[in-house]
Structure 1
Amino acid sequence: MRGDFARADGDLETARRRYDEAVRLLRSTPAIPQLEATLTTSLGMLAGQEGDAAAARALHDRALALAVKSGDAPVVGHALAGHAALAVHEGDHARAAVILGGAEAVRGFVHDPSVDHRRVADAVRAVLGSVEFSRCRERGRALRRDDT
């Protein structure tokens, strides 16, 4: 999404405009839970970057519910990365690493190509160090899908 590119570049104003445009377009089409979950995750990431923790939490919770409802494992993994970002904002880097590991397990593959997953993983690794990050991430990978 173009909003994701703008957000990755730090242009939050443009990101907000792009996401608002996407929301309008999505509302004019039949419901597609995967698209709504992905867009809601992006909006949650934006809210977090803007410093609105309450909005970020509400959006990430909604995104995860939509993703689970869709049954699309990569979308669920993406929504979980949003919850990992929340854990980073709350200062709980170990929990963020566990959630990232859970996201990888749910998706069924380790390397997520999304900018958000990499950004969150890099932030967590910088605080925990590679060894502790890997240990926590492995704990997340070992969780059952329902426990993630």
Structure 2
Amino acid sequence: MASCFEHFLTMHRPMKFSGGVIHHLLLREVHHNKQSDDMRFMLGTHEVKFSMVKFCLITGLRFRVVPDTNRYVNMDNGLIHRYFGGRDEILPVELRDVLSRDEFQQAYDIVKLYLIYVLNWILKGLEERVKIPVWQLRLVDDLDAFDAFP
């Protein structure tokens, strides 16, 4: 007999994101003092755990200790120099301006800049007033290193 999870994996109906479902789930979060890396929710009378491993399986994202970001050196001709004049503080509006100009000096620059955009405003949900961490622009200059980053 197939488990509920196996049945879920075999469904072929397209699924849509529902902010309402996520909101109601988060309203039912149970805060706990246990040393664990999971989120817990009360669904009816059942406590449901959502572990980091399940998060990785569902999203495809990795988790582990974040490496020291000071090791990402400033490349002489990296994104920071090509599009932001080598400055250490870059605002979201500046990134959007560069992306909207649609003029890129190297072939993969648009991909690298959009990765920074997705990381900060989709995955991390940063606010517009928060500056882009410069180490991210240094990291994305090496797409292999960026892809391996947790």
What TM-score, normalized to structure 2?
A: 0.28
Greater radius of gyration (CA): 2
What TM-score, normalized to structure 1?
A: 0.29
Bigger proportion of residues as helix:
1
Bigger proportion of residues as strand:
2
